[in-house]
Amino acid sequence: MSLYHFFIKKKFYLHLLVAIGLILLMAWTTLSMLDRYTRHGEVYIVPEFFGEDHQEIIERYNEQFRFIISDSIYKVGVEPGAILQQDPLPGAKVKQGRNVYFIVVARQPEKVLMPNLLNLSIRQALVTIESSGLIVSNISFTDHFARNAVVAQQIEGEPVEPGTLIFRGSEIDLILGDGGDVFNVPFPMIFGKKPKEARDLLHHSTLNVGNENFLDDADTTDARVYKTEPFARPGQDLKPGTIINVWYRSQKAVDFDTFINDSLFIEDTTNTTLNHEIIEEDNL
């Protein structure tokens, strides 16, 4: 049978139409399923989750998004379980079931190894403590030939061996050598400084931070050192290990340049001009 006769047969055209129909049906079915799966055109706006408890958010939005905790960080003063970071960010347009990643506040601090601070200088010890995520609590001195070298490390008055697992953020007591002699240290210039700057300066001078009082606002962003007790001018000799109580005021409320120039360095017979001004304000 010739090729011409084969093509003109009705069966050929019927089979061709059936094949084309099947192809179109398969294409339509595939596109419909794909459209249903991806929910084409249907998007959700990602809300802002910062500060919310991640468990509550997961329960509330579990039908819209798929939540993944990518990391947890212990943060002092923040409610455990609170959301610190989210990805995608608030306002992003996403499809239903999109992965939303959270970094949340850990229920308890992670543990770190206690570093070996023994025989380090105070400056080396302070750098090591900060890099390990720990905090200096108290600095004291003992009779030892190596002045300002760490001769003991403690937590809450108890010795802690290097390599011991402790919570990040633990407060470390340092006992330093006095060099076998009585000596004084100059008071650092902390007036007008931010809280962390003031603490670092005091610790590097082997002085202790006592009570910290914020007079203007709970938000410490603009807080600067305004008063100390005992009062000392920069460079004045103090006994190492002295506890310094600190008062802060907001730089929005106080012109610290004028305050330091006019109040801090003016000679007066009582040597308490700065504290006297604060006492008067506190009594108003």
Q: What is the per-residue pLDDT across 162-198, written as a single tens digit (0 to 9) for each? A: 999 999 889 999 999 999 888 999 999 999 999 999 9
Strands (E), the chain: 44-45, 65-73, 83-87, 93-94, 98-105, 111-113, 135-147, 150-155, 158-159, 165-167, 171-177, 185-186, 208-214, 223-229, 237-238, 243-250
User: What value does the mean pLDDT take over residues 104-118?
Assistant: 91
Asked if the domains 44-105 and 184-284 are classified in one and the same CATH topology, the answer is yes
The ranges assigned to domains in the chain are 44-105, 109-183, 184-284
Is 0.75 topped by the overall pTM? no
CATH of 44-105, one of 3.40.50.920, 3.40.140.10, 3.30.10.20, 3.40.50.300: 3.30.10.20
Q: What is the per-residue pLDDT across 73-101, written as a single tens digit (0 to 9) for each? A: 877 778 899 999 999 999 999 988 899 99
pLDDT at residue 41, rounded to an integer: 55
Band (131; pLDDT cuts 50, 70, 90) = very high
Strand bridging mode 65-73 / 98-105: parallel
Peptide bond into 88 cis (omega under 30): yes
CATH of domain 109-183: 3.30.10.20
Neighbours of 281 (CB within 10 A): 12
CATH of domain 184-284: 3.30.10.20
**With pLDDT > 90 as the criterion, what percentage of the chain qualifies?**
63
Q: What is the per-residue pLDDT across 262-271, written as a single tens digit (0 to 9) for each? A: 776 544 433 4
